Amino acid sequence: MRSKRGHEPVKLDSGLTQVILIGMKIVSLAAALALVLVPTTADAAPAAHHFRNCTDMHKTYKGGVARRGAHDHRTGGGHARYAPHVSTALYNANSSMDRDHDGIACEQ
């Protein structure tokens, strides 16, 4: 099938790097996708903050931090005074402060 100018589309390659030549213009699907899909440094998520100790963490998060789906396991029953902030990335950065290994670091 010919276009209005008399040029036929020519497929030079297959897959994502398919290049189509139409009327002296080259369009690269791979290059177009790369410009759209490559994250910039402004879009990248910052690294989770590691606190020095629970006192330092409580200044920002009174109830500590919890991974998603964590449940408080207190030996004497009861419940925490403050609800923890749920963030798996933040919990993973501070998991060493989870003394009872219930998925909540520095709960109080």
DSSP 41-103: TTTSPPPPPPPSSHHHHHHH-TT-EE-TT-----TT----SSPPEE-HHHHHHTGGG-TT-SS
pLDDT of residue 51: 95
pLDDT of residue 5: 64
Beta bridge partners of 26: 21
pLDDT of residue 64: 94
Domain of 30 in residue numbering reads as 1-39
pLDDT of residue 108: 86
Residue 4 is classified by DSSP as T
- Domain shared by 17 and 60, yes or no: no
pLDDT in tens, the chain (108 residues): 655 666 666 555 555 454 455 544 444 555 666 666 655 555 555 688 999 999 999 999 999 999 999 888 776 777 788 999 999 999 999 999 999 899 999 998
Q: Is residue 5 part of a domain?
A: yes
pLDDT of residue 78: 74
Q: Is residue 101 part of a domain?
A: yes
pLDDT of residue 8: 64
- Domain shared by 22 and 63, yes or no: no
Q: Is residue 96 part of a domain?
A: yes
Q: Is residue 9 part of a domain?
A: yes
- Domain shared by 32 and 58, yes or no: no
Q: Is residue 28 part of a domain?
A: yes
Q: Is residue 74 part of a domain?
A: yes
Domain count, the chain: 2
